[in-house]
A and B are shown apart, each in its own frame.
Chain A
């Protein structure tokens, strides 16, 4: 793999390498797709096509053994000069996600403030607090195992790194599985739907905000689980991650901790208040 890596970058000898173009294509796909959803819907399909093209290109590049982990840049001279450009990029992405979730949670609170009826936790709410509390512990534990994985690779302890990364993946996948079970129970047995239904019409607004908030969070956790699965796969490759080259672990970890923070706010807002 190291040889493939070297050969893949031979063509760039002497020139500064700027990394893969595919994440940019994927970001463009997101922009076009979401713009299509709110303006001219067919553009959403253009976005989906671009997304498939970008993900395919990225996987194709990865399958050829091309990697950029040891191509590191500091940012331009200025106030962020002490920060790796990738880490800054991830933080800016997280900032955009904070905007996104702030809007969703704010919107849900506004709907709640105007709703005629809202179920009270432990009284007439269809939500299962003990089950979700277990799920919350899963996510907290996965944040702990994620930092243990980072600590392991920083210290060159591959065994701890791989075990902690695997534990994070299992905990994350368990969180998603429990959420799917919860959705199934609420949707089919408690008549909690994202739209108004004839059996429990009073839960219409509650259902809409519940599925919107937990659904978008669940989608983000699912994305994180896919990222963790990829990291686990790479972690078992010889010399892919080393104490000097493991920024991908740190960046996926930042994203994973962020989805944990979102849940830290969603759990009390949706289930306990």
Chain B
């Protein structure tokens, strides 16, 4: 078995890996934020009783979901510490999401 590929990775990807291991990561703070935001979310349907319109509730839930997903992707999936090019990879399918939303908006 050749050891060359491993050395190669250490040389090429080693910097990113070293950065991951030395930076202090706020795992617990993210966990608390995810829990608090989820607590808020499960109370959103009850806001209708206070006269908050459905569209506002939906906007709130979309915003909190995007915020939570971003936290998980950046910190738990380590995208924040990865090379910049890898951070763009998960954005590729968002084009499809845009088309699907457009399809809903222009529905007959």
CB distance from B28 to the nearest CB of A (A): 7
Is there an interface contact between A268 and B96, defined as CB atoms closer than 8 Å?
Answer: no
Q: How far is the CA of A13 from the CA of B104 in the complex (A)?
A: 57
Chain A residue nearest to B27 in the complex (CB): A147
Is there an interface contact between B1 and A272, defined as CB atoms closer than 8 Å?
Answer: no
Map CB proximity to B onto A70-114 as digits: 1 under 8 Å, 0 otherwise.
111110000111111001100110110011001101100110011
Chain A residue nearest to B54 in the complex (CB): A273
Is there an interface contact between B42 and A83, defined as CB atoms closer than 8 Å?
Answer: no
Is there an interface contact between B72 and A16, defined as CB atoms closer than 8 Å?
Answer: no
From residue 72 to 89 of chain B, which have CB atoms closer than 8 A to chain A?
A: 72-73, 75-77, 82-83, 85-86, 89
Per a CB cutoff under 8 Å, which of B6, B25, B72 touches A143? B72
Q: How large is the interface on B (under 10, 10 to 19, 20 to 34, 35 or more residues)?
A: 35 or more
CB distance from A252 to the nearest CB of B (A): 12
| A141: chain B residues within 8 A (beta carbon) | 31
Is there an interface contact between A83 and B83, defined as CB atoms closer than 8 Å?
Answer: yes
| B2: chain A residues within 8 A (beta carbon) | 14-17
Is there an interface contact between B6 and A140, defined as CB atoms closer than 8 Å?
Answer: no
- The yes or no answer to A133 lying at the interface (CB within 8 A) is yes
Is there an interface contact between B104 and A106, defined as CB atoms closer than 8 Å?
Answer: yes
Q: How far is the CA of A243 from the CA of B64 in the complex (A)?
A: 35
- CB contact under 8 A between A13 and B1, given known A91-B90, A122-B45: yes
Q: How far is the CA of A268 from the CA of B1 in the complex (A)?
A: 50
Map CB proximity to B onto A133-154 as digits: 1 under 8 Å, 0 otherwise.
1001100110110111001001
Overall SS of chain A's interface: helix
Is there an interface contact between B86 and A268, defined as CB atoms closer than 8 Å?
Answer: no
Is there an interface contact between B13 and A83, defined as CB atoms closer than 8 Å?
Answer: yes
Chain A residue nearest to B68 in the complex (CB): A264
CB distance from A64 to the nearest CB of B (A): 16
CB distance from A131 to the nearest CB of B (A): 11
Q: How many residues does chain A have at the interface if contact means C-beta atoms less than 8 Å apart?
A: 63
- The yes or no answer to A22 lying at the interface (CB within 8 A) is no
Map CB proximity to B onto A14-33 as digits: 1 under 8 Å, 0 otherwise.
11110000000000000000
| B45: chain A residues within 8 A (beta carbon) | 120-122, 129, 272
Is there an interface contact between A102 and B93, defined as CB atoms closer than 8 Å?
Answer: yes
- The yes or no answer to A265 lying at the interface (CB within 8 A) is yes
A residues sitting closer than 8 Å to B (CB atoms) are: 9, 12-17, 70-74, 79-84, 87-88, 91-92, 94-95, 98-99, 102-103, 105-106, 109-110, 113-114, 120-122, 129-130, 133, 136-137, 140-141, 143-144, 146-148, 151, 154, 253-254, 257-258, 260-261, 264-265, 267-268, 272-273
Show 27 residue pairs from A and B whose CB-CB distance is below 8 angstroms, ordered by the A residue. Answer: A71-B5, A73-B8, A81-B12, A82-B13, A83-B13, A95-B90, A102-B97, A105-B100, A113-B104, A113-B107, A114-B107, A129-B45, A137-B35, A140-B31, A140-B35, A141-B31, A144-B31, A147-B27, A254-B77, A261-B72, A261-B73, A265-B69, A267-B38, A268-B64, A272-B41, A272-B42, A272-B61
